[in-house]
Amino acid sequence: MRQKMVAGNWKMNKNFQEAEQMFETLAELIKDNKPEEAEIVVCPPFPYLELAMDMLQESGIGIGAQNCYPKDFGAFTGEVSAAMLYSLGVQYCIIGHSERRSNFKEDHAFLAEKVKATLVNGIIPIFCCGELLPEREKGHYFQIVEKQLKESLFFLSAIEFSKVIIAYEPVWAIGTGVNASPEQAQEMHHYIRQLIRKNYGEDFADETVILYGGSCTSTNARALFENPDVDGGLIGGASLKPEDFLAIANSF
């Protein structure tokens, strides 16, 4: 049976004191509300990763980063490497989020380098894929997602690929309050699993965790997670509210 997971992407939010309060609240709430089925991961901004490790280490909550640079070290001012993240004890790293693709022009080849860097350094990549609204409206969404996976993931060996988590995020639903319907989410998740089956075989397709992201809330999470190919969520805004975040994690 595949692992269920809910990962919170804080994006560029919270000052230090607010982050500290968030971690304290999460650690306290999870004592009485620990999900029976789902693993919980929190992905705060870089400055708060060590604080997260310190405050959440006994809670069972996993820690992830929102980004990394594909080189281990060097003259790359302002960047943070997967090797650095691993040395902190970070377990996960989000790769290929639509905001990185659009705002920072990260292309398929560069994202492939990041995926490789995380795996080499013992970090699990949460690889994001998804289509823009015009691509959805034109009916090109399958082709767009297939290209993203083919060029940034499917070069991996089967063993490497087995460590990857995929997050389908329809870009038109991120931060808009408009989520994909449960039927739309299942359709794409099933398609992604079929692509994995084609490239890596039945066992890898059955075992790969595929998350849904895009205006997932405590209100709609259960309907989304009931789909057979939806294994959880990559949560944005709702992850900034500890009670809502844990309610989503308990929606399986």
Active-site residue set: 97, 169
Six-digit token string for 214: 């895009």
Sign of the Cα torsion 157, 159, 164, 166 reads positive
- Say how far apart CA 234 and CA 205 lie, in whole Å: 19
* Residues with Cβ within 8 Å of residue 163, at least 6 apart in sequence: 119, 124, 125
* Residues with Cβ within 8 Å of residue 55, at least 6 apart in sequence: 20, 23, 24, 27
- Residue located via tokens 């809910």: 6
In this structure, are residues 112 and 152 in contact, taking their beta carbons and an 8 Å threshold? Answer: yes
- Residue located via tokens 């009670």: 243
